[in-house]
Structure 1
Amino acid sequence: MTIVITGATGHLGRQVVEELLARGIDPSTIVAGGRNEDALGKLAAYGVRTARVDYADPSTLDAAFVGAEKILLISGNEVGKRSVQHKAVIDAARKVGAELVYTSAPKATTSDLVLAPEHKATEGLLEGSGLTYTVLRNNWYTENYDDTIRQAASTGSILTSTGNGRIASATRRDYAEAAAVVLLSDEYAGEILELGGDEPWTFDELAATVSEVAGTSVTVNQVSTDEHVAALKGFGLDEGTAGFVAALDANIAAGLLAESDGTLSRIIGRPTTPLQQYVRELLGT
């Protein structure tokens, strides 16, 4: 069986490749695709095949997908262009009749999450594609808060507009392991899987965790969405980026990332990585 990993030069994709290899998969049956030539070179050192894959260039998709039986479509990172780019991947997968696994967003078809519309559009394309597919609706990556955690440890303060909203985050390694399991099994074909961490947390709990790990007092500065936008612009972010970041915090405050039913931990056969463990590893304590 040939498995193609798109976006393999990103953090999640690279870890999916590593998880497949850890399960004893023949490296020659894995095609790692991406745009970053240096990163592709590092992946080639694992013995896997590599291919230039650019969602905006269908010819690269056709070349990379030759002989593919399963394809992991890791959602693109160009907001506003993703549904068109994902369609190109789906169309290329149809040409070879491959089974497709797609990384989506929590409750993508019904959520008000600012990121949901493009994922909803992609899931609609999959539904009408005639392909066998599985949707991995990944919640937040704990790594999204690396800078926040480091700054909290050094400054003793966290700025947020998340209120009491909870975040069912898990690490990229957790999600990568789930993707590998799904790619190597026929059990999940046709399923839409809501994936998240076992223990959703608030920013107050994040601050308490950093305080305990770093041995310094950390306070949470809760502000309104408008105040958050103004503060982010003051830090040098442009209007669009500041608004987007604050909108995500507003989504969290509304509870849109709070749910987790344990599906992720059941798939990987272990608990998801606890927040405290992750913070300790990040801060090196």
Structure 2
Amino acid sequence: MIAVTGATGQLGRLVIEALLRTEAPGSVAALVRSTDKAADLSALGVVVRSADYDKPETLGPALEGVDRLLLISSSEVGKRAEQHKAVIAAAKAAGVGLVAYTSILRADTSPMALAEEHNQTEAALASAGVRHVVLRNGWYTENYAGGISAAPEHGAMIGSAGEGRIAAASRRDYAEAAAAVLVSAEDQAGKVYELAGDDAFTMAELAAEVARQSGKPVVYNDLPEAAYKEALVGMGLPDGLAAILADSDAKAAEGALFDDGRALSALIGRPTTPVAKIVADILRG
């Protein structure tokens, strides 16, 4: 059985969808906090099990009989490392044969603040002695959805990424890569995949693409990190999250989100989704 944590999340649902192209629904388990939100998956024949990162007592039963597990990183920055360690401990106790973990691009050398908890999780996997594979995901192009959709009205996109090139790819691309690793006949234990989009762009280039497709003038305004953080807070983001996003942008300016290894397209057997298509999808709403 293949299990996916966070299976009702944006990435998790796409992984389940990809798995069902080749696997019988009854051999796929969706591990979720709220089973009510997974009613559609249950209707497809997917095994739905309650699993809460913050409730370790739910994890053992959820992992019973699981051969391969995709541990999708928690969205709760600041709590992730401990949450992940609970899952890893449960996976070891349950005898899970392989744990795949969604980390961040070049986690071991990344200067991004977001990399810290991913590094801690990778270390926990190694110290636990569980067979594991690390999927170091780059940026999701959809991370810019809010800015892209608002840009035609405001005439601008903002950030702190300077002229840094960002090798983003779609969530679906990363989901298909995860599914490919989970169903692979090759032994994946010990592998580390640096995953990123085939074609990188600067924020100015992204703004130009939005302008081209919307038919309205859109420019990119680059801000100092502190100013960008304050702008995000002004948009309603919590202070801590705004700081992390601003840090990520500033580190992107230094190349933290660029990679040209094309491991992602190699895994999924096709080119990664062009940024122009993501922009078109977002502008269509």
Contact 1:16 1:179 in 2 (8 A): yes
| Equivalent residue number for residue 40 of structure 2 | 42
Residues 1-285 of structure 1: pairs in structure 2 closer than 5 A: 2-23=1-22, 25-98=23-96, 99-187=98-186, 188-284=188-284
Q: CA 1:56–1:234 in structure 2 vs 1: closer, same or farther (change >3 Å)?
A: closer
Q: CA deviation at 1:84?
A: 0.8
Equivalent-residue separation in structure 2 for 1:276 and 1:257 (angstroms): 18
Q: CA deviation at 1:275?
A: 0.2
Q: Please, which runs of 5 or more residues in structure 1 have no aligned partner?
A: none
Equivalent-residue separation in structure 2 for 1:196 and 1:210 (angstroms): 21
Q: What is the DSSP-based 3-state SS (H/G/I as helix, E as strand, rest coil) of the residue aligned with 1:128?
A: helix
Aligned residues: 283
TM-score by length of 2: 0.95
Equivalent-residue separation in structure 2 for 1:234 and 1:68 (angstroms): 45
Identity of aligned residues (%): 47
Equivalent-residue separation in structure 1 for 2:220 and 2:58 (angstroms): 46
Q: Cα RMSD over matched residues?
A: 1.4
Q: CA deviation at 1:269?
A: 0.3
Q: For 1:143-163, what per-residue CA distance to the aligned partner results, in whole angstroms no more than 9, with x for missing partners?
A: 111111001122221111110
Deviates more, 1:69-78 or 1:124-133: 124-133
One-letter code aligned to 2:247: A
Q: For 1:187-216, what per-residue CA distance to the aligned partner results, in whole angstroms no more than 9, with x for missing partners?
A: 233200000000111101101111111111
Q: CA 1:237–1:184 in structure 2 vs 1: closer, same or farther (change >3 Å)?
A: closer
Equivalent-residue separation in structure 2 for 1:138 and 1:83 (angstroms): 17
Q: What is the DSSP-based 3-state SS (H/G/I as helix, E as strand, rest coil) of the residue aligned with 2:207?
A: helix
Q: Please, which runs of 5 or more residues in structure 2 have no aligned partner?
A: none
Contact 1:194 1:260 in 2 (8 A): no
Q: CA 1:241–1:35 in structure 2 vs 1: closer, same or farther (change >3 Å)?
A: same
Equivalent-residue separation in structure 2 for 1:70 and 1:236 (angstroms): 39
Q: CA deviation at 1:184?
A: 0.4
Equivalent-residue separation in structure 1 for 2:266 and 2:234 (angstroms): 43
Q: What is the DSSP-based 3-state SS (H/G/I as helix, E as strand, rest coil) of the residue aligned with 2:204?
A: helix
Q: CA deviation at 1:9?
A: 1.0
Equivalent-residue separation in structure 1 for 2:25 and 2:166 (angstroms): 35
Q: For 1:75-133, what per-residue CA distance to the aligned partner results, in whole angstroms no more than 9, with x for missing partners?
A: 11111111111111111111122111000011112211111111111111111222211
Q: CA deviation at 1:258?
A: 1.2
Contact 1:53 1:64 in 2 (8 A): yes
Q: CA 1:179–1:237 in structure 2 vs 1: closer, same or farther (change >3 Å)?
A: closer
Deviates more, 1:76-85 or 1:266-275: 76-85
Equivalent-residue separation in structure 2 for 1:238 and 1:61 (angstroms): 30
Equivalent-residue separation in structure 1 for 2:282 and 2:233 (angstroms): 27
Equivalent-residue separation in structure 2 for 1:70 and 1:278 (angstroms): 31
Q: CA deviation at 1:137?
A: 0.2
Contact 2:35 2:48 in 1 (8 A): no
Q: CA deviation at 1:39?
A: 2.1
